[in-house]
Structure 1
Amino acid sequence: MDAIVIAAGEGTRMRPLTDRRPKPLLPVGRTTLIQRIMDQCVDAVDRFVLVVGYRAEAIHETVGDDHRGVPVEYVVQSEPRGTAHAIGRASDLVDRRFLALNGDVLVDDGVVDDLAAAGGTAMAVREVPDPGNYGVVETSDDRVTGLVEKPRDPASNLINAGLYAFEPSIFDAIERIGASPRGEYELTDAIVRQVEAGHDVRAVEHGGTWLDVGRPWELLAATEHVLDDLGRARDASTLSGTQDPPDVKGAGDTHAVRQIDGTVEANVHVEGPIVVEEGARIRSGTYVEGPVVVRSGADVGPNAYLRGATVLGPGSRVGNAVEVKNSVLLPGATVGHLSYVGDSILGADVNFGAGTTVANLRHDDEPVRMTVKGERVSSGRRKLGVVVGDGAKTGIDTSLNAGVTLSTGARTGPNETVLEDR
């Protein structure tokens, strides 16, 4: 069985984080979004076909020509012409039943297995309270009878979860559809055509985790979910190299999984789950409340404070008297000293000057708002800090307001208070 993974889009709603990388390569835990979904397919497939477009070379460089021993081939969608067009690009390579997955969706492991085992054509569906914002699926006896994109009056609470298993006949259906009003060729139109032609399309209900990682705060939610899984793991043998070094205070917590392959100096206090990869260092006096992941080459402390679902990317730096809470630092990001970063995402090679402080809470306790594609929208999160593009730098004693975005390469001056996007 093959797996076609769509990874061609620009991810414009995720900017500035996607200015220099495709969205499927954004980090989630210790891997990337696309590699995580591929991990979940490994036991069910014997070949991957990745549909790439925007910054395709970065995906090829990261994933390579095989993933955990499963061969990987690539096809290019040079223009963003919709999901059906993306799947159709693989028609010359695929002539048997296959999985079709988006490279930016976070789901539990079981749904991929359920689709693979369903037989024939199948699509994952799930119940949501607000189906009008999605593709709404109508069913009868677990068979799809209708599918409507963002209807004003939804006929059910079931939505299309964007994960499928297809027979090769879907390629014929794709060739027969026209462009949608937004000028794209929609996979849902091809599925409707198959339903109308009498093809059996099974609805595989998925009640577990499903997160469409399309906006920056959803990357934080994905990270929280993945690291929460780490916190729930009770069998330390599932993590190679798991150990409790004798010089780490707090190591007696029997409910915490710890994989410490890097250097943890004396007088470091750890509570909860933590991963310290080979080549990473946590210096003396640091206090950690997991789940926390410190990637290879990252350097923490001395006297730092890490807490919440935090991931420090490869080569990142968190220095003296710095607190990082529930945040993601991409490779090379630096928060050198005397700073606070909460509920935020810092792009690659960002540098926060001494004393930079992030606000992550509105005084009226309303959800923090953030700009997405030029429109100010609610994140739905009570706590949300800042999103900072690659290479941005702040001057000393900069204050960044909740919901602010700093664009790629942005600069702030000393003692600045930044209340609007820069």
Structure 2
Amino acid sequence: MYAVLLAAGEGTRIRPLSSDVPKPMLPVADRPIVAHTADTAVEAGVDKLVVVVGYEGDAVRDYFGDSYRGVPVDYAVQRERAGTADAVAAARDHLTAEPFAVLNGDNLYDPDAIAHLFEVGPAVGAVRVDDPTNYGVLETADETVTGIVEKPDEPPSTLANAGVYVFPAQARNWLEVPASERGEREITDVLARVIEADTVRPVVLDRWLDVGRPWELLAANEWKLDELEPRLEGTVSDDAVVRGPVVVESGASVDAGVVLEGPVLIRSGASVGPNAYVRGATLVGEDAHVGHAVEVKNSVLMQGATVGHLSYVGDSVLGRDVNFGAGTTVANLRHDDEPVEHTVKGERVSTGRRKFGVVAGPEVKTGIDSSLAPGLALSANATTDPGEVVDRDR
């Protein structure tokens, strides 16, 4: 079994975080999203990984190299990024006359269910949802998949397509599907052809997450940080307080007066404190810095991000090399207590989260005593003035 990992996309819905890195390479706990996908495939017993790259593909190549956890890695380039079937077609020359799996490199999957899916293929992974009308929905009969319907008004089931498949070897020859109404070659059209030719099993995943938007990156970290085994390998002051599942990697430092309430991961090269408070599902990335008397709650600080002293950051995602000036305060709650909204591809949409702060692209800088409104998006290299109240995307 070979596994094709789709990692070519930029991730327009997660901008500005994808300004300089493909979405599958955004951090979830101690590795990129796509590495969690690769782990799932490796643990299910694949013989080779074929990673489809495109936007900023060198970042993916540099991470995986020629092998990953003892499994060979090949690369295919999707040049036009014209849909998921187009992405798999780019990998066709790397596939043999054996069944193959397809997984999205920006999804997190239930590992046990994926292992079962690999065993019973041809198969498609699905999740049960309360409102299937916004998904591709599986039609089933006698424990087989008989069809798939996109965003139906009257769903035939509550099984939503989770975007993970095991195809028979002959599906290599069925990847040249016509473009859909939205101008993309869809992998679901390949699935339809497989359904016509073979018995396809539905495999229900207990847990699945499509990391498409910034708040879903928070949710992904909440999931994976909660699975880490506590360990303190870095320098932790005797005057620091550590509660719950906390990981301080080798090369990280935690100063006096710091309180860490897990799940928290402090990565190598990062520093925290003195007198800082880090809590919730928080990732402090490599070489990031949390200054004196700073509070960080349920947030992701990517590599090199700095939060200056006397600041508060809650339910937020800070991109690479962000620098929040001293006294920067993030608001993460609306006065009317409604879910916070955020801009996705030019439209304000609900995050579904009662608390959600800011999304800062790489190299954003705030002036001292800046105040940032809930749901704010700061594009790469954006700045604020000292003392400024920012309530519109910048």
Quote the residue 1:227 is aligned against. 225
Displacement, 1:42?
1.4
Contact residue 8 and residue 53 of structure 1 kept, 8 A: yes
Quote the residue 1:286 is aligned against. 258
Displacement, 1:397?
0.3
Quote the residue 1:192 is aligned against. 192
Residues 169-217 of structure 1: CA deviation (Å, up to 9, x unaligned): 1122222x21101111111111112323x421111122x1111100000
Write the distance in 1 (CA, Å) between the matches of 2:309 and 2:67: 41
Counterparts in 2 of 1:216-365, with a 5 A limit? 216-230=214-228, 257-365=229-337
Q: Does 1:146 align with 2:147?
A: yes
Quote the residue 2:207 is aligned against. 209
Contact residue 142 and residue 204 of structure 1 kept, 8 A: no
Q: State, as a whole percentage, how many aligned pairs show the same letter.
A: 56
Write the distance in 2 (CA, Å) between the matches of 1:195 and 1:295: 45
Quote the residue 1:10 is aligned against. 10
Write the distance in 1 (CA, Å) between the matches of 2:249 and 2:9: 31
CA-atom RMSD, angstroms? 1.0
Quote the residue 1:250 is aligned against. none
Q: Aligned pairs, how many?
A: 392
Equivalent position SS for 2:308:
strand
Quote the residue 2:105 is aligned against. 103
Quote the residue 2:84 is aligned against. 83
TM-score, normalising length: structure 1: 0.91
Write the distance in 2 (CA, Å) between the matches of 1:103 and 1:184: 18
Displacement, 1:153?
2.1
Write the distance in 2 (CA, Å) between the matches of 1:91 and 1:76: 11
Equivalent position SS for 2:165:
strand
Dislocated runs of 4+, deviation >3 Å: none
Displacement, 1:126?
1.8
Q: For residue 175 of structure 2, what is the amino acid of its counterpart?
A: I
Q: For residue 64 of structure 2, what is the amino acid of its counterpart?
A: V
Residues 136-193 of structure 1: CA deviation (Å, up to 9, x unaligned): 1001111110111112221111111111111121122222x21101111111111112
Displacement, 1:363?
0.6
Displacement, 1:381?
0.1
Contact residue 127 and residue 207 of structure 2 kept, 8 A: no
Quote the residue 2:40 is aligned against. 40
Displacement, 1:65?
1.3
Displacement, 1:406?
0.6
Write the distance in 2 (CA, Å) between the matches of 1:56 and 1:66: 16
Contact residue 251 and residue 269 of structure 2 kept, 8 A: yes
Quote the residue 1:114 is aligned against. 116
Q: Does 1:416 align with 2:388?
A: yes
Q: For residue 113 of structure 2, what is the amino acid of its counterpart?
A: V
Quote the residue 1:180 is aligned against. 180
Residues 244-283 of structure 1: CA deviation (Å, up to 9, x unaligned): xxxxxxxxxxxxx521111001210111010000100000
Quote the residue 1:128 is aligned against. 129
**Which consecutive residues of structure 1, in runs of 5 or more, have no partner in the other structure?**
231-256
Write the distance in 2 (CA, Å) between the matches of 1:37 and 1:203: 19
Equivalent position SS for 1:315:
coil
Counterparts in 2 of 1:52-63, with a 5 A limit? 52-63=53-64
Write the distance in 2 (CA, Å) between the matches of 1:212 and 1:142: 25
Residues 31-74 of structure 1: CA deviation (Å, up to 9, x unaligned): 11000111112131121000111111111112211111111100
TM-score, normalising length: structure 2: 0.98
Q: For residue 174 of structure 1, what is the amino acid of its counterpart?
A: L
Quote the residue 2:362 is aligned against. 390
Write the distance in 2 (CA, Å) between the matches of 1:186 and 1:41: 22
Equivalent position SS for 1:413:
coil
Once the two structures are overlaid, the 10-residue window that deviates more, 15-24 or 87-96, is 87-96
Displacement, 1:107?
1.7
Write the distance in 2 (CA, Å) between the matches of 1:309 and 1:57: 29
Residues 386-408 of structure 1: CA deviation (Å, up to 9, x unaligned): 00000000000000000001100
Contact residue 264 and residue 281 of structure 1 kept, 8 A: yes
Equivalent position SS for 2:349:
strand
Q: For residue 211 of structure 2, what is the amino acid of its counterpart?
A: V
Write the distance in 1 (CA, Å) between the matches of 2:195 and 2:35: 32
Contact residue 17 and residue 361 of structure 2 kept, 8 A: yes
